[in-house]
Structures are given as C-alpha cells and as structure tokens.
Chains A and B, each alone.
Chain A
Amino acid sequence: MVNHFPGFETFAMDFKETELTLGPPGEFRVSGRKSGKKRGFPEMLDLNLSGPNGRRNDSGAQLEQEASSSPKSPAAKEQLVGWPPLRASRKNAMRSGGSNYVKVAVDGAPYLRKVDLQMYISYEQLLKALEDMFCYFTIRNYFMEPMNGYEYVPTYEDKDGDWMMVGDVPWKIFVESCKRIRLMKGSEAAGLEPRTPPQNAVMEAAEEDSG
C-alpha cells in the first residue's frame, strides 16, 4: 500500500488496528483460534508465543513496532489472556522484581558495562562495585572534597531524560528512576560540582539504606 502521508508507518499501523475482523474486539488470543480450525499437531509447532521477544506490553504502539519489525505473524507475539496461570499478585511481584540492569558508561573507556541495580542496597555498595568493575579508575567519593583530575563523578540519566548526580535522592528512588549511569571525568564534571557537598541528603540516604 503506497502512501505518501508523513508518518506513513504510523498510519499504516493504525489502519491495521481498525481493520474489521469477524471476531470480537478486545484482547487477542491465539491466531489459530479465529479460523475455527481444530488445532493440529503441525500447527502447534508454529506457535511461538513466548519467545524472547514476547514481551508483555499494554500500549498498542509498542506492539505494532514488534509487528512491523518481524516477518512472523504478529499475533503470535501477543500475550495470551490468563497465561501463564498465575495470580495477579504473583505477576505483579514478578514484574517489579526480576532484574534491573542499567548500562554504565565511563568516559574514555572503550566499551560499556551493565549492572543490576537490584543487587545492591546502598550507594556505597554500588559505587564500590563500579570501582571494582572499572578498577583502574577511582570514582569520586562525594563525601570528600576536592576532586582531582583522575577522579570520576557518578551521574545518571533519570526517567525524564535528565542527567543527575548520583546520591541526591534516597537509594530506593534512585533505583526506580535510574535508566543509565555515566561516570564523568572529573574535569568535565566541574560544572556539576556543588559549592558545598550535599551532606544531608547523602547522610539521610545512608540512614535509610541501613534501616
């Protein structure tokens, strides 16, 4: 379907969503169901319902992206209602649990690393782990002043896309809002340096962490 509208891709996807089908609207089920055929053995093998790309999503937009990117039947990647057979309370617990990997970039390092924020219970632990990971760097300990050119300032990108200094908010809030971490070279981070180190915020954070 040739279409010269700007945002053609989006339009095509929306069109698909409004396409008339014989089945009821609402949640999708296994695509084979609509055809009314009895499910035979070879058809079963084609079902690929929860492969690594079968991520749950509530927003139609993300679903459409997957549909357009893979040549396979998009219906196969959709979520089945009530499957796996788990109570809602367990499903919710799972989603909030699991792992929370974020990328860690260090200025000047040739490649990035990843850490699971759920593995740590305090800033101290995280920064120690990062120091171990990038053992040839020293991460600036914001308790101390002043910093020299070899040290790095830990910063992170939050949910709003802003680059923040690590340590200002309580640990739990940090874990929830951190999307990626960047260890900034000391000299570059000069602008971020507060006149007085935010002792109180960090002390409160430390207390909260040990509580």
Chain B
Amino acid sequence: MNYFPEEVLEHILDFVTSNKERNAVSLVCKTWYKVERESRYRVFIGNCYATNPERLIARFPRVKSLTLKGKPHFADFNLVPHDWGGFVDPWIKTLARACPGFEELRLKRMVVSDEILELLSKSFVNFKSLVLVSCDGFSTDGLAAIAANCRYLRELDLQENEVDDRSGHWLSCFPESCTSLVSLNFACLKGEINLSVLERLVARNPNLRSLRLNRAVPVETLQKIITKAHRLVDLGTGSFIHDPKSETYQKLKNAMSKCESIRSLSGFLDVAPHCLTAVYPICPHLTSLNLSYAPGINSNELIKLIRHCRKLQRLWILDCVGDKGLGIVAATCKELEELRVFPSDPFGPGNAAVTEEGLVAISVGCHKLHSLLYFCQQMTNAALITIAKNCPNFIRFRLCILDPAKPDPDTMDPLDEGFGAIVQSCKRLRRLSISGLLSDKVFLYIGTYAEQLEMLSIAFAGESDKAMLYVLNGCKKLRKLEIRDCPFGNMALLADVGKYETMRSLWMSSCEVTLQGCKTLARLMPKLNVEIINENDLWDEIPADDDRKKVEKMYLYRTLVGPRQDAPGFVWTL
C-alpha cells in the first residue's frame, strides 16, 4: 500500500464506531493514528484520573461526546468517603475553551456542581444530551440552567443521583421554544413538580420517546401525559396509587390500552396492591419491566402481572416474587435476557426471599439469559452446576448471598464447585461477582477458565494469597478487580506488579495488605497511582515507621498523568 488517500481512510473509519476497534486502528501506523484521532467524536474515559482534559483535547480535538467515570464502583455501597474526588470541573472548563461544538456529556459517579452545569449550558450552543448516573453535588438550580439555556436539548437523563431538590420550578425553565426533547428522566428527584408545567412540556415535545417521572407525579397527571405523548417507548411512572374503583383508574386504563408504542416500563415508586391491573393493556408488548422500586406488592399480584408479559427481555424485580414467582417467569418469559432480583428486606430474611430454586427454574425456562444479578438467601453447588449447564451464555453473572460467607446449606461445603462450573461453562463471561463461603479453589477455577473475564468482585472469600494470585495470573483480560474483607496481603499484591498496568483499577479494602506493601508497589510502578484512603484521625498519630499497619482501603489505577492534585486530606497517594 504505497499511497492511500487519507480522505478514503477517514471515510472508511466512519464505519468503525466501537472505541475498542478505533483504538486498535490507531495503533497501525502514524497516519492511521492521525486520521483516527481527527475523526473521533465519541470519547470514553473509564477513569477520569487516568488522563486529563488537556490530553483529551490534544488527541481528539473534534470530540463531541464524552463519557467519564469517576469514583470506584464500591462507592455505590458507601465504601468510599463522600468527597473522595471525581470532580468534573476541569473537564468542562477545558471543553468550554476548546470545543464549542460539544454536544453530549455522560457522567458516572462524578461530582457535579450547579456552577459547572451553568457553565455547560452556556458554553455549547449545540448541546444535546446530558446523562448523569450516580452523581452528586448539584441541585435543581443546575437543572434549571440546563433547561433554560440548552436550546436544542434532546436528552436529560438523571439516574440515581443525589440531587438537592430545591423546588420544582426548574421544569418551568424549559422555554416554550423547547420542542426537541426526546428523553427526559427525573425519577430520582425527591421534590415536588409543577404538574401543569409538566403536562405542557410533554404536549409541545412530540418526539418524546423516553419519559421517567418522579414520585411527586400522581396518576391523574400520568394519565393525561400518556394521552399526549404518542411516541413514548419508555415510561417510568411516578406514584402509582389509585383506587381501582375510581374514575381516574378507568381513564388510566383506557389511556394505557391506546398506547401502542410503550415497550419499557419502570417507576411504581409508590404503589399499593390492586393498582397494577391498570397496566395490563400494555404488558403484552413490553420488552423491559422494572418493578424493583415497588415494595409492598405481594407475590400473587406480581405473578398475575408477569403472566401478561410474554415478550420480556429485561426484568428487574424484588425477591417478594418468590421462587414460585420465578417459576412463572421461567414459564412465561421465554425471551428473557437480563434478570435482576433485588432484596426487599436487606437486613433480615423475612418472608420474602428467593433461593437457589428460583434461579434453577429460570435457567430451565429462559435459555437466552445472559445477564444476571441475584440477591438470595442461599445457594447450593448442585444448583449452580445445573444453572451452568442450562445457561452457558452468561456474559454477566452476579450472585449475592445475603449472609456473607454462607456455605452450601445441603452439604455445608464452600461454593467453589458451583462457581467453578459457571466459569467453565460460560466461555463468554465478562463480569462475575461471587459470594457465599469460598476457599482458594474457586479462584483457581476462575483463573483457569474465565478467559474473557474483565471485572471481578469478591467479598468475604478465600483463604490465602494464592487465591488472588490465581486470578491475577490467569485472567488475561482482567480490567477491574475489587476485593473486600479477604485475607489477601502483600505477597499477593506484589507478586506481579506489571499486571496492574494492564488493568484499569484495583480496589482492596479490609484485607491484609499493609502500608509497607503499598509503598513498595508505588515505588516499583510509577505509572500507577496507589491511593490509601485513611478516614481515621488516629492514624496521624501513629509513628511514620509503622508500615506494618494494615491498610483499610486501597485503590490503585494506571494513569498517564501522575498523582492527582485534587485529592482530599484523607487520601494519600503514595
């Protein structure tokens, strides 16, 4: 290939959309690197501290869409202090200077402020899409700025954020000229909403395909909205309490029966028994159903509802459905691909619970299942072995037995063989979370068989350093490893330090790793940031040479830009 015009190359690269493939393309030669970087519009940065905004702009000057992730995953479970970091400010400030054509921002576990939202809203004329997942630090004032200033806004999607809800007036800040909305999700907001403003907003945005309301929106408003939003594909209800004998219920049911387009249903943030019948008309079309925020619905009602949902591909539900209910799911939802079963009473078994029986039933009935998150009271090796045989297609398999380190109740054995069967059978497994009583053996299985594994979460498992070594040595594609309360120490940490440069990050908390081990690692690997989270004042008084002290929380990640400047006082970068 002596001469190959760059324009042709660029045209071809237009068809390469996956960033993974684009990264590979950019490694071919300098020309390809140059053409690729000048034509990449969507950039994904899985750890905001692995690089910095200046490098982003330098390499991808035409970036229009940026995805950034901040805090480690365990921050979701309160294991990371609130002000650990993950501030989006420097990114927005740099983009505001350098990329006026910027259109789309997706953030996960980052800290966002009202000032930054305002800056965002005023800096990019064409700004179209803001997606915030598990973020915090902002209030509805920031949302008001977005609503008021982003004239071509298509998407405002707020998922599970901690938002300081100051008032519902932010919704009024969408001007009359705002008619471009395609997706609006404010389910996580806790405060009141001006209902008539909402109705008018929906009425003048005919392209709305996704609408998720918060708890403050009652059924009367929902019914009016549904009749106005004809293109709705994804609906999240707000409060769903009504009297089945009332006129409102009739109107709602009528409105539902006219909805041809809804395929995805969620919400039910407040629901009482006997209220679900109103949605029966749309159940036959549904491919996605999320009832996981609706406690207080008993198993029988859930079952009655599910019987109508033959086309479900995704189901998120509470364990009140019971093993019996899962049997009905297995018999009804033959297209099921993703299942999440959450605990309805995380702090005690109660009556509502699922066990290994429910999951076995699912594995028998739902052969297309590839993604699972399952909170249960108990699990057995025999069940896991059966499940592995029935469902060899798992890509994501996350099992959480609520009682930590609980053995197989039938045999009192660890669950090594069961999880071993899963990793052996599911050759495409990319994500795995294990629980229950586990010895080193399961880790040998994982290291040996889980060739595609990218993310592994471990808690209260293992007996020795060997376990962690099996994983580090065996899982060639491992990117994220998070470990809590396991007896893994310096020997495991330091055995293969080069491995961490092939990974995005490693989290270890309440393990046996000491300050000495972490210091050694940091010294050997300058391209890693080894952070110690030390929330505890006492430690300042311990003499500096007590490196034998165990480290409570360690988070390390590869980075191109050295220690971060915004770390708070309780985070030490070694």
A interface, CB within 8 angstroms of B: 24-26, 29-30, 33, 36, 38-41, 44-45, 47, 49-52, 54-56, 79-91, 93-94, 96-99, 118-122, 209-211
Which of these, A38, A80, A86, A118, contacts B342 with CB under 8 Å?
A86
Set of chain A residues within 8 Å of B274, measured between Cβ atoms: 121
Q: Which of B28-36, B89-97, B344-352, B361-369 contacts A (4 or more CB under 8 A)?
A: B344-352
A122 B343 Cβ-Cβ under 8 A? no
Other-chain contact of B485, A29, A93, A211 (Cβ < 8 Å): A29
B175 CB → nearest A CB, Å = 31
Please, which residue of chain A has its CB at the minimum distance from the CB of B552? A24
Complex Cα distance A82/B243, Å? 38
B405 touches A44 (CB 8 A): yes
* CB neighbours of A122 from chain B (8 A): 243
Supply 5 further A-B pairs (C-beta < 8 A) apart from A38-B487, A79-B347. A26-B535, A50-B402, A84-B400, A121-B274, A211-B242
Please determine whether B218 and A38 come into contact, CB atoms closer than 8 angstroms. no
Residue of B nearest to A52 (CB): B348
A70 → chain B, closest Cβ, in Å? 15
B248 & A210 in contact (Cβ 8 Å cutoff): yes
Give the 10 A-B residue pairs with the shortest CB-CB distance, closest first: A97-B295, A82-B77, A38-B487, A210-B243, A24-B536, A210-B246, A121-B272, A118-B296, A44-B405, A56-B347
Whether B160 contacts A87 by the Cβ 8 Å rule is yes
Check A86/B346 contact, CB under 8 A, given A39-B487, A80-B404, A209-B243. Answer: yes
Q: Which secondary structure dominates where chain A touches chain B?
A: loop
Residues B78 and A98 in contact, CB atoms below 8 Å apart: no
Given contacts A33-B485, A89-B188, A122-B243, contact A50 B347 (CB under 8 A): yes
The A-contacting residues of B in range 246-270, CB under 8 angstroms, are 246, 248, 269
Q: How far is the CB of B484 from chain A (nearest CB, A)?
A: 7
Most interface-central of B220, B295, B550 (chain A CB within 10 A): B295
Docked Cα-Cα span, A83 to B485, in Å, equals 11
A91 CA to B485 CA in the complex, in Å? 21
Residue B474, interface by CB 8 Å: no
B400–A98 touching, CB < 8 Å: no
Contact yes or no, A84 B345, CB < 8 A: no
Residue count of chain B within 8 Å CB distance of chain A: 64
* Interface residue? B241 (CB, 8 A): yes
B227 at the interface (CB under 8 A from A): no
A40, A45, A55, A99: which contacts B463 (Cβ < 8 A)? A40
- For B536, the chain A residues whose CB sits under 8 A away are 24-26
Of the candidates B293, B345, B460, B550, the one whose C-beta lies within 8 Å of that of A98 is B345
Say whether B420 faces chain A, with CB atoms less than 8 Å apart: no
A-B residue pairs in contact (CB < 8 Å), sample of 26: A24-B552, A30-B485, A33-B485, A39-B463, A40-B463, A41-B463, A45-B407, A45-B412, A45-B437, A49-B403, A79-B347, A80-B404, A81-B78, A82-B484, A83-B77, A86-B77, A86-B342, A86-B346, A91-B346, A97-B294, A97-B344, A98-B344, A118-B273, A121-B242, A211-B220, A211-B242
Q: Closest residue of chain B to A209, judged by CB?
A: B243
Q: When chains A and B are docked, how far (Å) is the Cα of A40 from the Cα of B440?
A: 11
CB within 8 Å for A85 and B459 given contacts A49-B403, A50-B348, A94-B346: yes
In the complex the two chains form, is A88's CB within 8 Å of B78's CB? Answer: yes
Interface of B, secondary structure class, is loop
Closest residue on chain B to residue A26 by CB atoms:
B536
B contact set with A: CB distance below 8 Å: 74, 76-79, 134, 160, 188, 218-220, 241-243, 245-246, 248, 269, 272-275, 292-296, 342-350, 375, 400, 402-405, 407, 412, 414, 433, 437, 439, 457, 459-460, 463-464, 484-485, 487, 510, 512, 535-536, 538-539, 550, 552
By a CB distance below 8 angstroms, the chain A residues around B134 are 87
Contacts of A50 in B (CB 8 A): 347-349, 402-404
Complex: A49 Cα to B402 Cα, angstroms: 9
Q: How far is B437's CA from A45's CA once the two chains are assembled, in angstroms?
A: 9
Q: What are the residues of chain A within 8 A of B242 when measuring CB–CB?
A: 121, 210-211
Of listed B296, B412, B538, residue having the most chain A CB within 10 A = B296
* Residue from A41, A56, A87 within 8 A of B437 (CB atoms): A41
**B203 smallest CB distance to A (angstroms):** 22
Instruction: With both chains docked as a complex, state the minimum distance between the C-beta of A73 and any C-beta of chain B, in angstroms.
Output: 15
Tell whether, in the assembled complex, residue B464 and residue A38 are in contact, meaning their CB atoms are under 8 Å apart: yes
Question: CA A36 – CA B513 in complex, angstroms?
Answer: 11
Is B76 in contact with A87, judged by CB distance below 8 angstroms? yes
How far apart are the CA atoms of A45 and B406 in the complex, in Å? 7
A98 to chain B, nearest CB (A): 5
Closest to B509 in A: A82
Cα–Cα distance between A41 and B188 once the two chains are bound (Å): 42
Give min CB distance, A42 to chain B, whole Å: 11
Q: Which residues of B contact A54 (CB under 8 A)?
A: 347-348
Q: Which of A24, A44, A99 contacts B296 (CB 8 A)?
A: A99
Question: Considering the chains assembled together, what is the distance between the CA atoms of A16 and B8 in angstroms?
Answer: 76
* Complex Cα–Cα for A91 and B318 (A): 12
Instruction: Collect the chain A residues with CB atoms within 8 Å of residue B78's CB.
Output: 81-82, 88
Give min CB distance, B152 to chain A, whole Å: 31
Cα(A49)–Cα(B74), bound, Å = 21
| A residues near B243, Cβ cutoff 8 Å | 121-122, 209-210
The residue from B188, B245, B248, B344 contacting A211, defined by CB atoms under 8 A apart? B248
With contacts A82-B74, A86-B77 taken as known, whether A211 is within 8 angstroms of B218 at the C-beta atoms is yes
- Cα(A88)–Cα(B241), bound, Å: 24
Nearest-CB residue, chain B, relative to A88: B78
Closest to A87 in B: B76
Q: Can you name the residue of chain B whose Cβ is closest to the Cβ of A116?
A: B296
Decide: A47 near B404, CB < 8 A? Known: A56-B347, A83-B77. Answer: yes
Report how far A49 CA is from B405 CA in the complex, Å: 10
Decide yes or no: A49 and B160 within 8 Å by CB, A30-B485, A55-B348, A121-B243 being known contacts. Answer: no
